[in-house]
Amino acid sequence: MTPGRGKHRLLLALCLLGLLLFGSLGVWQLERRLWKLDLIERVEARRHADPVPPPPRAEWPRLDTAEIEYRRVSVTGHFLHERETLVDALTERGAGSWVLTPLQTDQGTMLINRGFVPPEKRAAASRAAALPQGEVSITGLLRLTEPDGRILRPNEPAAERWFSRDVAAITRARGVADAAPFFIDADAAPNPGGYPVGGLTVVSFRNTHLVYALTWFGLAGLSAAGLVLLLRSAQGRRRWTGRSSP
pLDDT at 243 over 60: no
Tell me which residue range forms the domain holding 30: 24-53+208-246
pTM listed for this prediction:
0.73
Say yes or no: 47 and 150 in one domain: no
**Which of the residue ranges 123-137, 140-154, 188-202, 216-230 would you say has the lowest mean pLDDT?**
123-137
The DSSP letter of residue 69 is T
Say yes or no: 38 and 76 in one domain: no
In a domain, 222, yes or no: yes
In a domain, 38, yes or no: yes
pLDDT at 190 over 90: no
Say yes or no: 102 and 180 in one domain: yes
How many residues make up the chain in this entry?
246
**Which of the residue ranges 2-6, 84-88, 128-132, 147-151 would you say has the lowest mean pLDDT?**
2-6
Strand 108-117 with 179-186, pairing: parallel
Buried-state track 122-150, b at ≥16 Cβ within 10 A, e below 16: eebeebeebbeeeeeebebbbbbbbeebe
For residue 228, which amino acid is it?
Answer: V
136 confidence band (pLDDT: 50, 70, 90): very high
pLDDT of res. 212: 85
Say yes or no: 90 and 173 in one domain: yes
187 confidence band (pLDDT: 50, 70, 90): very high
In a domain, 12, yes or no: no
In a domain, 96, yes or no: yes
Dist CA 9 CA 5 (whole Å) = 6
Dist CA 140 CA 54 (whole Å) = 10
Say yes or no: 47 and 163 in one domain: no
For residue 89, what is the domain's CATH number? Answer: 2.40.50.140
Under a CB-based contact definition with an 8 Å cutoff, are residues 74 and 124 in contact?
A: no
Dist CA 48 CA 18 (whole Å) = 45
pLDDT of res. 57: 92
Q: What mean pLDDT is predicted for residues 171-194?
A: 91
> What does the mean pLDDT of the chain come to?
86
| Interval 197-222: pLDDT, tens | 998 887 776 778 888 889 999 999 99
Question: Structurally, how many domains does the chain consist of?
Answer: 2
